[in-house]
Structure 1
């Protein structure tokens, strides 16, 4: 029996034409058509900007349209809820979209799946409850289990041991009476430190608080009790799609192999990702089950994000050679048939202060103002934690993104606080979205603010804080179609489509906002306690959330370049935060971690090396992958900032400069 024989008819060209029209797809070549039609186990290796997420959504839409079973479903797993968000955005008003988001199908993170089908059932069967899965919250509960003296004594001991911190403590056993069993805690069970840590962890676990990674430990406990569980889950989910496979850790991959082995003929396992974008810590090692499969695979190597000029510069940095014939740029720029002036800025080793201004000037001169206003201009580095102990002249300079602009603040752009008013929550979320940040963070930020409104109207904390606040509200509104429609309309119009808001429009929304909050928390829609929170604050300019109108002040961690030729805001941050984003222009900055990042990559920039053949360490592989991720973000302009010494000196510098030019770079020397 095959996985799909009784569940769906074969996918035809007519089905593909339907999906192409529905989602307005482009560039559906033979590789993409092969994936869309596939109903067997296969891996998809898709390059940056290839429309992978949209392709996944199209595949799911086709399957949902043809699905025959009312009790067996499609399971979609990833590290984030990007696929679910994309389905809501692209298919939310369609019948197939609603089917995908309901039983029997399941779309969530890998952690969410393990929690739902393994960890929670085990906890319930063992007589425990689940209060929260959150690292920070669990750490706070563990701290409360100890008195101040015990906690400070334990914290100081762990700091001195340099083995583990209090925040990094994790369960080693599902026997909560001995939570440190099997761990590398730096002292034995007879010591007070061991007893303090054990007591704290036992208390939190028995109260139902767990860290994200501990969910797999609980899941393993259920598998030990129920060896038949994998076959049960395979019957429930005969089709499994794993998105962003490159970010899957060996622990997660091994767990998924136990549940859904790819050699099991009764199921279809399709893994999608890009092996050249494995830059997160959780996926820092090669998987035992190599991705992509050497035989059962589809390769997509052409990107709609950038043109051939960027593709040719980024291609040598791909750790694994992009199959079948290298990275291809499919985007065309009218008026710039040869591509834009991708530039290497060469700065003095002890002075990086002129880099951002030179980059801003280049962007303004190279691109029309109408183009600049349509996208995000960024400058990113591998290290962005401030290093105040490293200054000009130090051998590690520049160590961090902060060395290019003294006003850079680590984490200043995050939605880590609750704004004073609901309107300001929309401002923060829209700024994040317009700067290329992940949409789910903005959605959760707005959801958290609306939850706070609901609590004000209810007069109590009806809605608890959650790391997935949007999903929490969706569940609470499942039976309230009218309120759910208001909530989704607000997100669609003012966060996704970013319609302009002003005081008059905000006042018109007040009745709907009050009705929504009351529906969520079962409170009083006219509660006076919510009045101030709902008001349009005087400090918020009338155009503050009209994305078509420039704001007076730059966003957090945003360097503004202004000249008579034009103005551009340059968003600074880390390479990790750019993953999945698209920029108008990207500047990759030199930073230091054991070695200078771009200096170590000069052999690839100069054409001496290509791909990962010369990578002799895991750190070298990570540098290559991080550079590849950064260099495949922009649509128009790609730039680098390197130290003068990276080019050598004298005749060597001149020769290396010429080699960069021959490879497609413009070189602007700020050291002269």
Structure 2
């Protein structure tokens, strides 16, 4: 049997020096060097701000440089395409970068892997077509099949059962009986069951599937081909699973069947941070749990965090950061010591002054040169609007919305369908400036380009996808001119933030038409495409006789605080949206989910508890993890907003304030 180490020579110090120079890496400590050199199955537990994605890409570069097989490759799986984007960014112009992004290697999401190597092969072998793997499109096909009357009946029934039509899923690859046993509130012979089954059956037969349903299809292929795992292990002797903490138990079990960690034929390295598992997973043990303490490399020092923030955040790590807690090596501090990380204490029935106090604190603490272009954020665990929770209610403040009435829970998502390509680009630019993930902004532009292609050929050739940008890139690989135009749009308007002008747009329009025709596979352009491509200026109507410059547009969910001619923009969002981001300053807002989140964590703030030993259930664990994620975003300032009652009454209140000060917090009463 060929082992993974038979395919590649050992990683040497010279290899590490080479990749450090190629990527401009900082000096590497023992843990990072161990990860770069190890060619055996391992877990890597990497703290926030440790440069995890960068070090993964560095290892992939080393392996690609030493790779000799033309038929076996490296497989990199995650929940997003951050690794692929980092390779394109850091290694795109290098030989190893081009090698990694091409056959025989595979870099994609877990869903993408299961779809390509299991689900689609099974569908094709069974004689079914593949139209789209997309939740929204599939739900739409199911709804249209039922018609509005039957859909309304079924949806009303499901809502009474605390279910949702959009959550219906295939439970079997036998499409005549698509619902798994016990997965529907009523039995197979009831009218509602039959309606649901008919909708699922029709969509499947038309080739429409939801993302999670590909695992059902994959299971069908595994049942037919029990030797498939051995074949995949031979095809991919090195497997990396990034962001492992966000892997669901279903995904984990599936991957464990394909690539068991005790198999000698494959090297499996899982990378992530168990303390940032704020999606899906709880604290209950799961099969093949991450990280495996017997095979784990720990990276505990953060390039993002200064010592002062790392010290405050470390007790909130559910899994203790080994060996000595979270270490901050960011090196940011004030001339007289650490910056004043502040807890704003507000009246229980009035949170209106919190954002202004935070904005004032940022302006008085940091210089304009530091603030300009940096991310200043206010985040909370709960961000949906609750109009039935007024000030004075025992759940107040329940949500981010209670700190600022103009907050829109969906304002950070690019869901609006613009009428022109210009609007797609402007919305993406605004979202990028406001701190949205660049991948989401790029996908928004890709949606616009796809709509242009459909209009150019007069048909829906480019369907909406979760990874629209990557799909567009793949479709344009054989058309270098159109690919160059597409990448130029992304670079100019999203990365370089070039201002859109009428003359510039006119000069670009012909190239965009060629791009649309190439992408759509057509040879003529209907008039509808001209309207979509038309120049659209920013319309500003000043008051009569007033010729002053219009004020700068404020991005969605951005609270602007101004004082003495200076200002700072504070973007509000949920903690889930902020995961993976780096901020200049972060304010964590008190919100309510079964209990006030920060209030429930006062024992950790006061030093009475540490890590997850005192978390009695999943809800408590999730609160701790969410606050840990939020506390490890900022490079300079960390602030909290808590209710006055959280500190107690009278002498207890005063004593708790003093304890917080001794632990490194400044306490400001509002």
TM-score of the superposition, structure 2-length normalised? 0.96
Aligned to 1:11: 11
Aligned to 1:642: 642
Aligned to 2:543: none
Aligned to 1:260: 259
Does the 8 Å CA contact 1:422/1:533 hold for their aligned counterparts?
yes
Aligned to 2:230: 231
- Give the Cα–Cα distance (whole angstroms) in 2 for the partners of residues 618 and 148 of structure 1: 39
Q: Secondary structure at the match of 1:595?
A: coil
Q: String of CA shifts for 1:7-47, please: whole Å, max 9, x gaps.
A: 22211112111211121111411111110111111111000
Compared with structure 1, are the counterparts of its residues 245 and 2 closer, same or farther at alpha carbon in structure 2 (3 Å cutoff)? farther
Aligned to 1:194: 193
- Give the Cα–Cα distance (whole angstroms) in 2 for the partners of residues 619 and 403 of structure 1: 22
Aligned to 2:468: 469
- Give the Cα–Cα distance (whole angstroms) in 2 for the partners of residues 9 and 569 of structure 1: 51
- Give the Cα–Cα distance (whole angstroms) in 2 for the partners of residues 326 and 565 of structure 1: 42
In structure 1, stretches of 5+ residues that fail to align are 542-548
Aligned to 1:340: 339
Count of residue pairs the alignment pairs up: 662
Aligned to 2:299: 300
TM-score of the superposition, structure 1-length normalised? 0.95
1:44-443 equivalences under 5 Å are 44-162=44-162, 164-281=163-280, 285-333=284-332, 335-336=334-335, 338-443=337-442
User: Structure 1 stretch 414-423 or stretch 87-96: which is displaced more?
Assistant: 414-423
Q: Secondary structure at the match of 2:305?
A: coil
- Give the Cα–Cα distance (whole angstroms) in 2 for the partners of residues 227 and 381 of structure 1: 46
Per-residue deviation at 1:527?
6.4
Per-residue deviation at 1:287?
2.4
Q: Secondary structure at the match of 2:363?
A: helix
Aligned to 2:652: 652
Per-residue deviation at 1:522?
3.3
Per-residue deviation at 1:271?
0.3
User: Structure 1 stretch 313-322 or stretch 507-516: which is displaced more?
Assistant: 507-516
Aligned to 2:24: 24
- Give the Cα–Cα distance (whole angstroms) in 2 for the partners of residues 189 and 624 of structure 1: 42
- Give the Cα–Cα distance (whole angstroms) in 2 for the partners of residues 76 and 309 of structure 1: 35
Per-residue deviation at 1:526?
7.4
Aligned to 1:567: 567
Q: Secondary structure at the match of 1:295?
A: helix
Aligned to 2:615: 615
Per-residue deviation at 1:333?
2.5
Does the 8 Å CA contact 1:248/1:283 hold for their aligned counterparts?
no
Does the 8 Å CA contact 1:486/1:512 hold for their aligned counterparts?
yes
Compared with structure 1, are the counterparts of its residues 385 and 190 closer, same or farther at alpha carbon in structure 2 (3 Å cutoff)? same
Does the 8 Å CA contact 1:413/1:557 hold for their aligned counterparts?
yes
Aligned to 1:546: none
Does the 8 Å CA contact 1:559/1:571 hold for their aligned counterparts?
yes
- Give the Cα–Cα distance (whole angstroms) in 2 for the partners of residues 551 and 84 of structure 1: 38
Q: String of CA shifts for 1:311-331, please: whole Å, max 9, x gaps.
A: 001000000110121101111
User: Structure 1 stretch 325-334 or stretch 609-618: which is displaced more?
Assistant: 325-334
Per-residue deviation at 1:432?
2.4
- Give the Cα–Cα distance (whole angstroms) in 1 for the partners of residues 71 and 282 of structure 2: 34
Does the 8 Å CA contact 2:282/2:622 hold for their aligned counterparts?
no
Q: Secondary structure at the match of 1:5?
A: helix
- Give the Cα–Cα distance (whole angstroms) in 2 for the partners of residues 449 and 540 of structure 1: 21
Compared with structure 1, are the counterparts of its residues 277 and 540 closer, same or farther at alpha carbon in structure 2 (3 Å cutoff)? farther
Per-residue deviation at 1:263?
0.6
Per-residue deviation at 1:501?
4.3
Q: Secondary structure at the match of 2:409?
A: coil
- Give the Cα–Cα distance (whole angstroms) in 2 for the partners of residues 321 and 362 of structure 1: 31
Does the 8 Å CA contact 1:364/1:565 hold for their aligned counterparts?
no
- Give the Cα–Cα distance (whole angstroms) in 2 for the partners of residues 303 and 105 of structure 1: 30
User: Structure 1 stretch 522-531 or stretch 291-300: which is displaced more?
Assistant: 522-531
Does the 8 Å CA contact 1:309/1:338 hold for their aligned counterparts?
no
Per-residue deviation at 1:420?
3.0
In structure 2, stretches of 5+ residues that fail to align are 541-548
Does the 8 Å CA contact 1:253/1:289 hold for their aligned counterparts?
yes
Q: Secondary structure at the match of 2:76?
A: strand
Does the 8 Å CA contact 2:309/2:632 hold for their aligned counterparts?
yes
Does the 8 Å CA contact 2:412/2:436 hold for their aligned counterparts?
no
User: Structure 1 stretch 5-14 or stretch 269-278: which is displaced more?
Assistant: 5-14
Compared with structure 1, are the counterparts of its residues 133 and 460 closer, same or farther at alpha carbon in structure 2 (3 Å cutoff)? closer
Compared with structure 1, are the counterparts of its residues 68 and 80 closer, same or farther at alpha carbon in structure 2 (3 Å cutoff)? same
Does the 8 Å CA contact 1:80/1:109 hold for their aligned counterparts?
yes
- Give the Cα–Cα distance (whole angstroms) in 1 for the partners of residues 589 and 660 of structure 2: 17
- Give the Cα–Cα distance (whole angstroms) in 2 for the partners of residues 407 and 290 of structure 1: 42
Per-residue deviation at 1:515?
2.8
Q: Secondary structure at the match of 1:430?
A: helix
Compared with structure 1, are the counterparts of its residues 489 and 284 closer, same or farther at alpha carbon in structure 2 (3 Å cutoff)? farther
- Give the Cα–Cα distance (whole angstroms) in 1 for the partners of residues 336 and 482 of structure 2: 50
Per-residue deviation at 1:136?
1.7
- Give the Cα–Cα distance (whole angstroms) in 2 for the partners of residues 286 and 411 of structure 1: 33
Does the 8 Å CA contact 2:457/2:525 hold for their aligned counterparts?
no
User: Structure 1 stretch 177-186 or stretch 112-121: which is displaced more?
Assistant: 177-186
Does the 8 Å CA contact 1:365/1:565 hold for their aligned counterparts?
no
Q: Secondary structure at the match of 2:298?
A: strand
- Give the Cα–Cα distance (whole angstroms) in 1 for the partners of residues 45 and 108 of structure 2: 21
